[in-house]
Structure 1
């Protein structure tokens, strides 16, 4: 199923609404899609729970000090933060973080 067909189906079910961006001057019109209240109930935002779960894993695997260092490092630019360079992550994940 194409993206537009999938979005049309979600709109028919009341999960999303479509708005048209009027400022576009060339090409196809830009359509913006947003979740409705029903859509938010059906597809809840899981970022807060994910954050808590990640902090629990960091605390249990790396210790309380590492978790606190990670949280504190969020206030520093990434280039100055040692936590990103010193944190040991398995396999491909560590390579992606170091490249990032």
Structure 2
């Protein structure tokens, strides 16, 4: 990200909200001379990227024209460093340590059900449904695709979005993916390959006859 815009986001994160004059003052302390016109240009670009809110008009407590107050959007918080990966890995490892595999599977089955419900895939003909399933999976980092073969439909996921969690039991997450994909498809497929076994993709076969 462009340096000045990154600094503006940092200022808004620290202050909660700020006017153009506030931002100009803070930027001058951190990087030297800058004009209000330049700041407004950067604010416009940040607003177009949905990183700051539409400015709110606030009256001054002293005489003068009302000022526009800027603040961060929810999306902007994704720009800053986070510890989600470490937290998720610790939670998974702690669950695996404290619960038997059946207990962890019950929890992950609930996670898969929540994700499938969020996807809201309608009951459509196989090809149309697969298009929506692939779109949902790609939106969630799976790098998915599908193809029709003589044996049925093959759904491929070329990326594991949980790979960097580095949890003690990868098979638990693989099983969760299997449940999720079955719920999205509305039929239980047969897994014919898996990345964790050294294959290029996790692939799932949906027979043409549905068996």
The TM-score range, normalised by the shorter chain, is 0.3 to 0.5
TM-score computed with the length of structure 1 as normaliser: 0.40
- Bigger helix fraction: 1
TM-score computed with the length of structure 2 as normaliser: 0.22
